[in-house]
Amino acid sequence: MTENRFKRVLLKVGGESMMGKREYGIDPQAALEVAKQIKDVYTQHVQVAVVIGGGNIFRGLAGEKLGIERATADYMGMLATVMNGLALQDALEKVGVPTRMQSALLMPAVCESFIRRKAIRHMEKGRVVILAAGTGVPYVTTDTGASLHALELKCDVLMKATKVDAIYDKDPAKNKDARRFKTLSCKDAIKMAGVEVMDTAALAMCSENNMPLMVFELFKEGNLTKAISGEDIGTYVGNEVKTEYA
């Protein structure tokens, strides 16, 4: 077996991954599909922490547009990530993966509070750690929360699983001539117009602290395993690489 490129990873999963074919909410079968992908790398003794979004239930920015005060809307979005986290925890345990869920908001009835050293110890003991409620403060996205947790937990890479197979120079759904980046420098990822990776705050945090980022499609069988082993899928973003097309 080829040695994995990464030993400890932070996986950022969008809330939409929990919807399946539904237009809203959680599809238990979709949660199981995500859990199976995580199990594939867990069985290779890769330490995994997961940050999950809440867009399938409620987005803070969308709530603000509807007239809800921004801080309140963001807290509502954090609660949505807790619901998704519980669904993912249930799915992971159904496929035989031990887990611990930690929240940036105090919720002792349903999960642990986030404690950095405790989260690291859970991973060292072979448990997948699910991190919910973002950073616990408003005006911050779950992408920024994922960047922060990846640094706190001393992960080798931040892996963003999306519905698109990589980062492109244009929206591939609207432009047939869109080109995939094989590698992308953090500097270019921040400044290039039309390139959507993560929000600027999250990218800046990764760049300033030399945290590499991988963007790839989750719902393609074996993709997470391939990404962790270092195969050429998706797009790798880092300070140490030059921007190159695939």
Average model confidence (pLDDT) for the chain? 93
pLDDT at 1: 41
CATH class of 8-245: alpha beta
For the cut 70, the answer to whether the pLDDT of residue 2 exceeds it is: no
Give buried/exposed letters for 70-84 (b at 16+ CB in 10 A, else e): eeebbbbbbbbbbbb
Q: Quote the percentage of the chain above a pLDDT of 90.
A: 79
pTM: 0.94
pLDDT at 193: 78
Helix (H, G, I), strand (E, B) or coil at 104: coil
Q: pLDDT tens-digit profile of 38-51?
A: 999 999 999 999 99
Amino acid code (one letter) for 196: E
pLDDT at 231: 86
- Which of 4-8, 84-88, 126-130 comes out lowest in average pLDDT? 4-8
- Quote the crossing angle between the two packed helices 200-208 and 142-152, to the nearest 10°: 20
Q: Centre a 10 Å sphere on the Cβ of residue 96 and count the other Cβ atoms it contains.
A: 10
Count how many Cα atoms sit within 13 Å of the Cα of residue 205 in the half-sphere of its side chain: 18
The DSSP code for 153 is: T
Kindly state the average pLDDT of the residues 120-136.
Answer: 97
Rounded Cα gap, residues 114 and 121, in angstroms = 12
Kindly state the average pLDDT of the residues 80-93.
Answer: 98
Q: Quote the percentage of the chain above a pLDDT of 70.
A: 99
Please state the domain extents for the chain.
Answer: 8-245
CA 205-171-198 angle, 5° bins: 15
For the cut 60, the answer to whether the pLDDT of residue 246 exceeds it is: yes
For the cut 90, the answer to whether the pLDDT of residue 137 exceeds it is: yes
Q: pLDDT tens-digit profile of 147-206?
A: 999 999 999 999 999 888 999 998 888 888 989 999 999 999 999 877 888 889 999 999
The structure tokens 């140490």 sit at 240
Beta pairing class for 235-238 and 213-217 = antiparallel
Binned at pLDDT 50, 70 and 90, residue 105 comes out as very high
